[in-house]
Amino acid sequence: MRVLNQFFRFGWEQALSCLFPVVIFASLAITQVVSLPFLPRYDWLLIIFLLMQWWMIRSGLETVDELKVITLFHLIGLALELFKVHMGSWAYPEEGYSKVLGVPLYSGFMYASVASYLCQAWRRLSVNLVKWPPMWLVVPLAAAIYLNFFTHHYWIDFRWWLSGLVIIIFWKSWVTYAINGSRFRMPIVFSFILIGFFIWIAENIATFFGAWEYPNQTEAWSLVHLGKVSSWLLLVIVSFLIVASLKQVKGKSSTKVSTSQVL
């Protein structure tokens, strides 16, 4: 009974952490079936996501610090979208007033929703990092992974080398989380793979509802190639490393403040 209780508690906390992604998928599905008046679909999606973000801050489901992280991811994702659409990796075929260089502004929220999940799950499950590598390794690795999304169009694709580096650097690292007062742990590399796989599933749902389309989906929808899991895996790693690094920095700052107050 205790095991079942912990399992359902874990599922409930995960569901709350996924609230923003769920709203995104629901909005994609509904606007695909129901035609909304006055504005194109992409513009309505942007309005819905902005209202959702406002409500999450207003209701206290997200903190102001988490909003800062989410905004950073929105900008990072939007920069990647502008480049990838320009290179023809995928496209947004529908019309919209809020499109910039072929990219609707709502697309940044799809990246921001990953950060929203990470931040909320971190807080709700009291996540701690064990044997976290030094910043001088983590920051260059995250930067190299992100830059490879751009440079592989012109040069060598280093994704598999970078994936190997991730395994080597984080081989001894663990993430611990709390459920009903009990702490559990999981290898960080395994958590990367799990999150990347589920985001690949989410990507299939998103393309099915017309969030964007790959060149092979122009005529008819088809399953996103499994090779895309590697791309999402690396993107998840970048997301996790940024959130974890910010948490580490903030944690050290909070400790310094507390110590100075005591002194």
pLDDT tens column, 126-171: 888 788 888 788 888 888 888 888 887 788 878 778 888 888 888 8
Q: What is the DSSP letter of 91?
A: B
Pairing of strands 182-187, 103-104: unpaired
**pLDDT band at residue 262 using 50, 70 and 90 as cut-offs:** very low
Percentage of the residues of the chain whose pLDDT score is greater than 70: 81
The residue-averaged pLDDT of 89-113 equals 84
Q: Which of 4-8, 21-25, 72-76 has the lowest mean pLDDT?
A: 4-8
Interhelix angle for 41-59 vs 64-87, to 10°? 160
Beta-bridge mates of residue 128: 176
In this structure, the number of other CB atoms found within 10 A of the CB of residue 262 comes to 6
Q: What is the pTM of this model?
A: 0.72
Predicted confidence (pLDDT) at residue 257 exceeds the cutoff of 60: no
- Average confidence score pLDDT of the chain: 77
Nearest CA among 49, 44, 102 for reference residue 78? 102
Beta strands in the chain (DSSP E): 99-100, 103-104, 128-130, 174-179, 182-187
Widest pairwise Cα distance in the chain = 68
Cα gap 56→13, rounded to integer Å = 16
pLDDT digits (tens, 9 = 90+) for 73-84: 888 888 888 888
Quick check: 21 and 113 in contact, CB under 8 A?
A: yes
Q: What is the DSSP letter of 173?
A: -
